[in-house]
Amino acid sequence: MSVRKEIYEILSNKLNTLNYFQIIDIYKGQFNDENANNINVFPAVYISIGNISYEEAVLDFVEGVAQVDVFVFFKKFEDTSVGANNQADSLAILSIMDTIVDELQGSYGSFFTELSQVSEEDLSFTYGKPVFKVSFSTNIIKKVEGVNYILN
């Protein structure tokens, strides 16, 4: 199994157990500043596994560091002002974000160590709807086919 596949499968399965999201997908360029309005099923979560910086560790193994970003799209905030009729429903979005962090923090697999949250960003101004990005860091350990330097 690949490193990225393992990370995606473990995180998507954990997010799926929350029974909240209509879409859980790996980020494949579905959105950017210009086309984020093309996302029309909410709530949606996209997992992005960024660059992995590898260094050789010992024979047949490489170690690296990866950042995993989780983008969460909500349809819209309702009225969040004090005393609003649907304030509780609107503020529930913030609780969902806390639940996501609680669920994913510390996740690990065969290829990656425990995820550690490194940032949380509100991208609502960028996308014109409630969008949050939660970033995690993890260490990668991967076996590679080494070159046999033993000469006969």
Q: What is the pLDDT of residues 63-121, one digit of tens each?
A: 999 999 999 999 876 666 677 677 777 778 889 999 999 999 999 999 999 999 999 99
DSSP 93-110: HHHHHHHHHHHHTT---S
* Count of alpha carbons within 13 angstroms of residue 112, beta-carbon side: 28
Q: What does the pLDDT read at residue 38? A: 66
Average pLDDT rounded to a whole number, residues 3-24: 97
124: pLDDT confidence band, cut at 50, 70 and 90?
A: confident
Token pair for 134: 């939660």
- How far is it, in rounded angstroms, from Cα 134 to Cα 138? 13
- How far is it, in rounded angstroms, from Cα 105 to Cα 78? 28
Average pLDDT rounded to a whole number, residues 36-55: 86
Share of the chain above pLDDT 70, in %: 86
Q: What does the pLDDT read at residue 79? A: 62
Q: What does the pLDDT read at residue 150? A: 54
Share of the chain above pLDDT 90, in %: 57
Please state at what angle helix 87-104 crosses helix 3-16, rounded to 10 degrees. 140
If you average pLDDT over every residue of the chain, what do you get?
87
- Burial of 124 by CB count in 10 Å (0-12 exposed, 13-18 middle, 19+ buried)? middle
- How far is it, in rounded angstroms, from Cα 53 to Cα 66? 7
Q: What does the pLDDT read at residue 28? A: 87
The answer to pTM > 0.75 is yes
54: pLDDT confidence band, cut at 50, 70 and 90?
A: confident
95 vs 7, 32, 99, 117, CA distance in Å? 24, 25, 6, 16
